[in-house]
Amino acid sequence: MPFIKNNSIYYNFIILLALKTCACTKFMYHMPTLQQILITAKQSLREAGVESAFLDAELLLAHALEKRREFVIGNPEYKLTESEADIFNDFISRRQNREPVAKIIGKKEFWGREFTVSGATLDPRPDSETIIEAVFELFPDKNAALKVIDFGTGTGCLLLTILAEYPNSLGIGVDLSENTLNIAKNNAGKLGLAKRGDFILNNWAGGIDGKFDLIISNPPYIKNSDIEHLAPEVSMHEPYLALAGGDDGLDCYRLLAPSSKHLLNKEGYIVFEFGMGQENDVRNIIKQAGMQFISFRNDMAGVPRCVVASY
C-alpha cells in the first residue's frame, strides 16, 4: 500500500472510514434485538393497564418494521435499526396512552377486508359483523340488486362490505362528520367500490328521498353519562359523535325509526345494531314507528346485538 501511505489525503480518508465503521459496528452492537425490545415494551404496556399487552406489542412492532407479525415471532435475534426502534418506541408511548392499536396503525379488519381508520372514525367492531350475518340471511341471493342506505356510516365498513358481497347493489353512506366521510370514500376507492357507493353529509335521514331494500345502521347508543366510564381506548380516543346516544342511549333510534319507515320498500328490511340490554326498548321504538318487528340476532358472545324489522 505504498501509494496510500505516501498520500496524506487518501491516508486520512482510510482512517476516517475505519473509525466510522468501528463506531457504526459498535452502535449496531448496542441496538436491541426484537426479543429484547419486545420484553421491555410488553412490560411497559402491562404497567399502563393494557390487557392485550403481548399481542399489541407484537402487532405494533410488525407495523414499525413494515413486516408481518410472523416475522416478529420468527426472528427474535433480528437487530433493529435506529429508525425502526424510534418508530416502535413512539407507537408504544401512544399505546401506553391507551390509543387503540387500530388508530396507531391506521387500519382495522372487518369481515375479512381492511379498512382505513382515523381519529374521526369509530374503529369497526367484530360485534357489528352481526349486521352482515343478518343481511346474508335476509337476502341469500348474492346477485340481488339491492338499494342500500347506511345511517352513520363511519369508515363505511357495513355498507362497503354489503356492496362487495352483493356486486349488483348500490348504496349510500350517510354521516354527520365530513372527516369521517372522507375516510369512507377513501375506503370505497381502495376496495374498488367508489362507483357503487355514494357518501353524503347529512343529519340522519333529513331530506333524503327514495326507497331502499335495506336500511342499516350502527348508531351511537351509549348513554352520555356512561361515556367517561368506558375504557380509555373508547372514552379518550373514539369520536364522541360516534358514541353519544343521549340520556338513555336511545335518541338515535327515536330519530331513525320513523324516517326509516318512509324510506323502506314494502319488501325491504331494516337492520339496526344496539347495545347490550337495549333490545326491548329498541323493539318498542320500532313498533311505535309502525314497522313490523321480525327478530333479534345475537353476536358471537350470544348477546342480542341487532334488530331486524320490515315495513
Ligand X SMILES: C[S@@+](CC[C@H](N)C(=O)[O-])C[C@H]1O[C@@H](n2cnc3c(N)ncnc32)[C@H](O)[C@@H]1O
Give the binding site for ligand X (CB under 6 A). 122, 124, 128, 152-155, 157-158, 174-177, 180, 203-204, 218-220, 241-242
Give how far the C-alpha of residue 281 lies from the chain's centroid of Cα atoms, to the nearest Å: 28
Give how far the C-alpha of residue 289 lies from the chain's centroid of Cα atoms, to the nearest Å: 32
Q: How far is the CB of 55 from ligand X (least distance, A)?
A: 21
Cα separation, 301 vs 286, whole angstroms: 24
Contacts 24+ apart (CB under 8 A), 27-35: 27/82, 28/79, 31/79, 31/80, 31/81, 31/82, 31/85, 32/79, 32/80, 32/85, 33/76, 33/77, 33/78, 33/79, 33/80, 34/61, 34/72, 34/75, 34/76, 34/77, 34/78, 34/80, 35/76, 35/77
Three-state DSSP state, 49: coil
Q: Which is nearer to ligand X, 156 or 268 (CB)?
A: 156
Q: Which is nearer to ligand X, 59 or 255 (CB)?
A: 255
Cα separation, 28 vs 22, whole angstroms: 10
Cα separation, 64 vs 119, whole angstroms: 19
Residue 77 DSSP code: T
Q: Which is nearer to ligand X, 65 or 174 (CB)?
A: 174
Q: Which is nearer to ligand X, 55 or 241 (CB)?
A: 241
Q: Which is nearer to ligand X, 166 or 204 (CB)?
A: 204
Q: Which is nearer to ligand X, 116 or 155 (CB)?
A: 155
Q: How far is the CB of 128 from ligand X (least distance, A)?
A: 4
Looking at residue 274, its amino acid is: F
- The residues, any chain, with a CB within 8 Å of residue 45's CB and separated by 6 or more, are 53, 56, 57, 92, 95, 96
- Grid-cell match 367492531, residue found: 125
Q: How far is the CB of 180 from ligand X (least distance, A)?
A: 5
Q: Which is nearer to ligand X, 19 or 201 (CB)?
A: 201
- The residues, any chain, with a CB within 8 Å of residue 39's CB and separated by 6 or more, are none
Q: How far is the CB of 134 from ligand X (least distance, A)?
A: 13
Q: How far is the CB of 131 from ligand X (least distance, A)?
A: 8
Q: How far is the CB of 290 from ligand X (least distance, A)?
A: 22
Q: How far is the CB of 265 from ligand X (least distance, A)?
A: 21
Q: Which is nearer to ligand X, 45 or 214 (CB)?
A: 214
**Residue 3 CB-density burial (10 A; 0-12 exposed, 13-18 middle, 19+ buried):** exposed
Q: How far is the CB of 36 from ligand X (least distance, A)?
A: 37
